Amino acid sequence: MSGADDCDEALERRLAALEDAIHDLEETVSRATNRDIPLLTGTLRALVDADIETLEELPDAGRTFRQHCAEREERLRAVEAQIDALGDAEAAKTTKAEKYGAILSFAHNKRNGNAKVAVSPAEIKFLMRTRFLYYSPSRPGIHKGSFIYWVLLQ
């Protein structure tokens, strides 16, 4: 019976090894379900600003977030193009449109209620020079009550 005992001992060792492996796997799965998955879904909820109840909702939330990012990127490009069109605020303005653009962007910054408007000495000089150059009642479009008139008097 020693052969049967050896076989039983070998089976018991294999069974113990399998039980240890199952225990390790249970710990890993438990850690994933109790800590890792909630941590990941919480992070994704915060990132995509959405209520994600189940893992099945993650792909849709990700696609929605990606769409919002694409829309914001498109909007950013449009704003950058507008800024480029206005030109560098410190560069010398040569055309009437560039001068009007500088004045209007300055007024727009003031009008938005920003607490601080960053204006360099060169910009102030430019705005004052422009005020004297373009403030003339005989110029079309600059009459009392017009927006440009208001900007020039600010």
Q: Which of 30, 50, 74 is the last residue of a domain?
A: 74
**How many domains does one find in the chain?**
2
Residue 44 Cα to chain centre, angstroms: 15
Given a cut of 90, whether residue 147 has pLDDT beyond it is no
Q: Which of 74, 96, 123 is the last residue of a domain?
A: 74
**Does any domain span residue 69?**
yes
pLDDT at 47: 80
pLDDT in tens, 62-97: 888 899 899 999 999 888 877 776 655 555 556 666
Q: Which of 88, 93, 89, 98 is nearest to 121 (CA)?
A: 89
Q: Are residues 130 and 68 in the same domain?
A: no
Given a cut of 60, whether residue 130 has pLDDT beyond it is no
Residue range of the domain that includes 95: 88-153
User: What is 33-58 written as a DSSP string?
Assistant: IIIIHHHHHHHHHHHHTS---SGGGH
Q: Are residues 69 and 95 in the same domain?
A: no
CA distance 68 to 47: 12
pLDDT in tens, 2-54: 667 788 888 899 999 999 999 999 888 888 777 877 887 778 778 877 777 77
Q: Which of 41, 74, 107 is the last residue of a domain?
A: 74
Residue 54 Cα to chain centre, angstroms: 26
**Does any domain span residue 80?**
no
pLDDT at 48: 79
Q: Are residues 136 and 93 in the same domain?
A: yes
Q: Are residues 108 and 138 in the same domain?
A: yes
Give the ranges where the chain is alpha helix by DSSP (H): 2-31, 37-48, 58-86, 96-111, 121-134, 147-153
pLDDT at 71: 94
Q: Are residues 62 and 111 in the same domain?
A: no
Least confident stretch, 11-15, 39-43, 100-104, 143-147: 143-147
Q: Are residues 96 and 64 in the same domain?
A: no
Q: Are residues 6 and 70 in the same domain?
A: yes
Q: Are residues 142 and 102 in the same domain?
A: yes
Q: Which of 138, 149, 153, 148 is nearest to 97 (CA)?
A: 148
**Does any domain span residue 15?**
yes
Q: Which two tokens stand for residue 21?
A: 């492996």
Q: Are residues 66 and 93 in the same domain?
A: no
CA distance 42 to 53: 10
Query: What is the identity of the amino acid at 101?
Result: G
